[in-house]
Amino acid sequence: MTMNLTSSAFRHGDEIPTRHTCQGGDLSPPLAWTGVPTNAKSLVLIVDDPDAPDPAAPKTVWVHWVLYNIPPTSGGLAEGAAGTQVPQGTLAGANDWKRAAYGGPCPPIGRHRYFFKLYALDAALPDLGKPNKSALEQAMKTHVIAEAELLGTYQKH
C-alpha cells in the first residue's frame, strides 16, 4: 500500500487558500494521510518552499513547518493544528522564522511551490529540542520506510 497525503483545503498542485497564508489567518491546512506502513513507529512532517526568495532565481529552501514523532495512527492534523491541537506525543522543530510553529506561505515575489512531505519512520526519535529541518533529516535518515508528498502553490494577491 502506498502512503498518501491529502488536504481538504486544496488538491495536489492547486493554489493554497488565502486563509492558510500570511495574507489570511495563517492557519495550517487540514491534512489527512492513509497507507501508513503497519511497522511505522512515528511520522515526520516537513513543509518547505524551494523557490525562495524568487522562483525565477531561487537561492534557498525556506522551511515553514517541522513536526516529528507524530503518532502513526493519528490519521491527520486538523486545520490550525498547533501546540495542544497536535496529536499527543508530537514534537515541533524550528521553521526558518526560528519558531516551533506553522508559518504559512508568504512569498515576496512570484508564485511559489510549497511541499508538504510526510515520512513514516521505523522508530520514534528522541526529543531533539527544537531541531531545524537539517538536524531532523540527519536524525531520521536511516529510519525512513515510506514517504508521501502534497504540493500547493501560492502567489500574493
Q: pLDDT tens string for the chain (157 positions)? A: 699 999 999 999 999 999 999 999 999 999 999 999 999 999 999 999 999 999 999 999 999 999 999 999 999 999 999 766 899 999 999 999 999 999 999 999 999 999 999 999 999 999 999 999 999 999 999 999 999 999 999 999 8
According to the model, what pLDDT value does residue 129 have? 94
55 Cβ contact partners less than 8 Å away, ≥ 6 residues apart: 107, 109, 110, 111, 112, 113
Determine, yes or no, domain membership for 22: yes
pLDDT of residue 29: 97
- The amino acid occupying position 34 is T
What is the structure's pLDDT at 82?
A: 72
Query: Can you give the pLDDT at residue 83?
Result: 63
- For residue 124, give the C-alpha cell: 520514534
Looking at residue 11, its amino acid is R
Question: What is the pLDDT, as a whole number, of residue 102?
Answer: 96
With beta carbons less than 8 A apart as the criterion, state whether 92 and 115 touch: no
Q: How many domains does the chain have?
A: 1
Greatest alpha-carbon pair distance for the chain in Å reads: 44
The answer to whether position 152 is within a domain reads no
Other C-beta atoms closer than 10 Å to the C-beta of 44 total: 25
Range of the domain at 60: 4-143
Residue 148 forms part of a structural domain: no
Q: Residue 97's domain is classified under what CATH number?
A: 3.90.280.10
Extended strands (E) in the chain: 4-6, 31-34, 42-52, 60-70, 76-77, 91-92, 112-121, 144-154
3-state secondary structure of 142: coil
